[in-house]
Amino acid sequence: MDIRSTLAAQQYAASRQAATPTPQSEQSTNPFSTATTSFADTVQQGEKTAMAALSGNADPHALVQALAQTELAVETAVTVRDKVVEAYQEILRMPV
């Protein structure tokens, strides 16, 4: 066996292992993933409470509270989006 083919096989095995996706557990440590999941959960809970209030199964206080939480979550998401767009535009303005 040639030394070059052995090295190539070793490099292939190392790169194949590095390229395989790692399974993600239920508790992700990625803060962006956690934030988006929390945002989606808040919006879904607000929708469920609104539907329950429309059918008469929830009290108005719970509806107001759910709507306030949803509004805060949406405002936070919009603020983060604006900051990301602003940072991207600033990067585009940088001289090369």
In a domain? residue 13: no
Domain span at 65: 30-96
Which value, to the nearest 10 degrees, does the dihedral of the CA atoms of residues 13, 15, 20, 25 take?
Answer: 100
In a domain? residue 43: yes
58 close to 52: Cβ distance less than 8 angstroms: yes
Highest mean pLDDT: which of 5-9, 12-16, 47-51? 47-51
Residue 68's pLDDT band (cuts 50, 70, 90): very high
Rounded mean pLDDT of 79-89?
95
Map residue 2 onto helix, strand or coil.
Answer: coil
Determine the angle formed by the axes of helices 31-55 and 60-93, rounding to 10 degrees. 150
In a domain? residue 65: yes
In a domain? residue 17: no
pLDDT the model gives residue 84: 95
In a domain? residue 58: yes
In a domain? residue 14: no
Highest mean pLDDT: which of 1-5, 12-16, 34-38, 87-91? 87-91
Centroid of chain to Cα 95 = 31
Q: How far apart are CA 43 and CA 67, in angstroms?
A: 9
Q: How far apart are CA 60 and CA 26, in angstroms?
A: 34
Number of domains in the chain: 1
In a domain? residue 52: yes
In a domain? residue 83: yes
Q: Is the pLDDT of residue 63 over 70?
A: yes
